Amino acid sequence: MIPIETIHATAGRLMSKAAIEIPDDYLGALRDMASTEKGPLSCFVIKTMLSNYDAAKEDRRAMCADTGVPRWYVKYGNEARVEGGPVALETALRRATAEATNGVPLRPNRVHPLWRTDHDNNVGINAPEIEYSFHPEGDWVELTTVHKGGLFGTDYRMLFPGDGIDGIKRFYLDALLAFGKRGLACQPAIVGIGLGGSKDTCMVLGKQAACLRVVGDRNPDPRIAALEEELKTLGNEVGMGAMGFAGSSMVVDCHIEVGYCHTGGMPMSVHMFCLSSRRACARIHADGTVVERTDPQWFTEYARRETVEWTTQDQSSRQSG
Amino acid sequence: MDDTGSELKTVRLRSPVTTEDLVGLEIGNVVYIDGLVYTAREGVYKKVVDDGTPLPGDVASIGNVNFHCSPAARVNPDGSFEMGAVTATASFRFSKWMSRWFDISQAKVIVGKGGMSSADYREHFVPRGAVYLTTVGYGTGALLGRGIRKVRAAHWLDELGIAQAMWVLEVENFGPFLVESDLAGNSLFERENAKIAANVERLYAGTRPATLRRYGETDRREDELI
């Protein structure tokens, strides 16, 4: 049984860590970009950001004052039991979000969409989002918090099979140009692309691809992995760098996640995780042990539901033939 | 920023600034500010410009540098303030208030994210001898937070909340910022956009528009989208 106070205390630490410490994978990639960027303005921006990360860690202050909209990803091992059950866990995450907003401090970004009511704690109706996944074994719970910026860098489009890979590239370029100018996307960014699914799934997959996969990670399908590489290169050939200044630093990495969709369509979403790619993760075991890390390891074979447990018609006909 | 090894020209400004201080600024210069800076965005603009509420102080007490910002801040139980990180919000949304705002506030410097259009600069900024500085990154929240020496006041905090209140800040070596628009209304972003535009045709070469279009891609609502 995982003590609820361990969930609560860990969630609080993760909130603070996500806001203050840039994850190592993103930091390493940005250092590489600082050495390859030839555009003097774009290079100045990247180097300034690198010193900003140092300042944030030294002073224990948020790296960016737009601390995004905090959200949670929770993964349950199949044998995990939390004291008080899932409702207690949600209560603990909501409380930790509010406490960290006041404690770090974070910017209280969350308001009612119409009445602009602000509780000054990033908690409100349907906020923070809490998404769940499961793992076939394990007595642990994993918590990941992501504080993604909320205004620019995301788009959705219903493409069709006839639009093909070219259609994907074109929409991708549209999104980079639309949000890259003047640096509205706060690039260089980790670009996440959702392909397929229903419209809501398409958005969820793309956002998770941007926020929950680390720089350098590749989709297990080799052809999708190749497309990720191709789109990353293409994005850095736009001619745009940090803040939309001339340069070559637009895309830190490109991650694609897919889901089966309607036979007639090929929906696509694009998401950009910014210069303050705030994510922090921990696995909490039944004995109360907590192991923190920055790689959420969200996408597993099970999470992608890659397998089916019965023999498909295609396989059985091949076996009998 | 010495540690960036940059060749960019760096300037220190003391606020309140005079128009003479701004004469030598060129787009792409790096700027640091000392003195008084205040935050004001849609909440303050609505209150002052739309509703006619008087400003809480003159240029001597609030400065003339308007930061389009919401801080990550906390109000302590004893009424004091904790300001962690500060970064700018996108300025293009505030265009409709700027002329009246300049006239009321006597602001000479707008600091924000992403700049405004050169039409805005010509119409609102140039006639009033004002320049636009953009924050860097975006998101040098920690560096900017370090530059805040003291929160002098937080006006309309109860009414507007932490994000929209008018924070008056005493700052030192506050930056870096980049000059996005100078006194002549030139725009650094628009100059850079033009460089990038030269490459766009090649990028899209061989691709076709999406099968299903959207309104916005055509402005004629009588058009079909297929």
Q: Which neighbouring-strand residues pair with A72?
A: A130, A145
Using one digit for the tens of pLDDT, what is the confidence trace for A225-234? 999 999 999 9
A178 Cβ under 8 Å from any chain B Cβ? no
- Closest residue to A44, CB basis, from B4, B69, B161: B4
Beta carbons of A182 and B196 less than 8 Å apart:
no
- Looking at the complex, report in whole angstroms how far the Cα of residue B175 sits from the nearest Cα belonging to chain A: 10
- Per-residue model confidence (pLDDT) at position A150: 74
Residues 6+ apart with CB under 8 A from A10: A143, A282, A284, A290
Q: In this model, does residue B93 exceed pLDDT 50?
A: yes
B54: number of Cβ within 10 Å:
8
Question: How far apart, in whole angstroms, are the C-alpha atoms of residue B216 and residue A177?
Answer: 16
- Closest residue to B85, CB basis, from A62, A167, A238: A62
DSSP A154-218: -EEEEE-GGGHHHHHHHHHHHHHHHHHGGGTT-SSEEEEEEEES-HHHHHHHHHHHHHHS-TT--
User: Are the C-beta atoms of residues A255 and A192 closer than 8 Å to each other?
Assistant: yes
End-to-end Cα distance, chain A: 51
CATH of domain B7-204: 3.20.130.10
- Per-residue model confidence (pLDDT) at position A318: 60
Confidence of residue A273 (pLDDT cuts 50, 70, 90): very high
Using one digit for the tens of pLDDT, what is the confidence trace for B31-54? 999 999 999 999 999 999 999 999
Which of the residue ranges A98-112, A292-306, B70-84, B105-119 would you say has the lowest mean pLDDT? B70-84
Distances (CA, A) of B185 to A44, B9, B126, B182: 23, 19, 6, 5
Q: In this model, does residue A56 exceed pLDDT 70?
A: yes
Q: In this model, does residue A321 exceed pLDDT 60?
A: no
More confident residue, B142 or B73: B142
A127 Cβ under 8 Å from any chain B Cβ? no
Using one digit for the tens of pLDDT, what is the confidence trace for A158-192? 999 999 999 999 999 999 999 999 999 999 999 99
> Structure tokens of A288?
């109360």
Q: In this model, does residue A320 exceed pLDDT 60?
A: no
- Looking at the complex, report in whole angstroms how far the Cα of residue A106 sits from the nearest Cα belonging to chain B: 5
- Per-residue model confidence (pLDDT) at position B2: 44
Q: In this model, does residue B97 exceed pLDDT 60?
A: yes
- What's the alpha-carbon Rg for chain A, to the nearest Å? 20
Chain A residues with CB under 8 Å of B154 CB are: none
Chain B residues with CB under 8 Å of A109 CB are: 163
Confidence of residue B1 (pLDDT cuts 50, 70, 90): very low
A108 Cβ under 8 Å from any chain B Cβ? yes
Mean pLDDT value of segment A14-41: 97
Residues 6+ apart with CB under 8 A from A186: A149, A152, A153, A272, A274, A275, A276, B137, B138, B139
End-to-end Cα distance, chain B: 52
A183 Cβ under 8 Å from any chain B Cβ? yes
Question: How far apart, in whole angstroms, are the C-alpha atoms of residue B224 and residue B213?
Answer: 9
Chain B residues with CB under 8 Å of A161 CB are: none
Residues 6+ apart with CB under 8 A from B45: B94, B97, B101
Query: Mutation test of the interface with chain B: which of A109, A182, A230, choosing the one with the most B Cβ atoms within 10 A?
Result: A182
- Per-residue model confidence (pLDDT) at position A175: 96
Query: Mutation test of the interface with chain B: which of A52, A58, A159, A160, choosing the one with the most B Cβ atoms within 10 A?
Result: A52
Quote the mean pLDDT of chain A: 94
Confidence of residue A313 (pLDDT cuts 50, 70, 90): low
A177 Cβ under 8 Å from any chain B Cβ? yes
- Per-residue model confidence (pLDDT) at position B7: 85
Beta carbons of A160 and B212 less than 8 Å apart:
yes
Which A positions 194-233 lie with beta carbon below 8 A of chain B? none
- Closest residue to B4, CB basis, from A47, A120, A177: A47
Using one digit for the tens of pLDDT, what is the confidence trace for B104-116? 999 999 999 999 9
Mean pLDDT value of segment A142-169: 95
Distances (CA, A) of B219 to A62, A156, A214, B214: 42, 19, 40, 10
- Closest residue to B139, CB basis, from A63, A159, A162: A63
Chain B residues with CB under 8 Å of A159 CB are: 210-212
- Per-residue model confidence (pLDDT) at position B84: 83
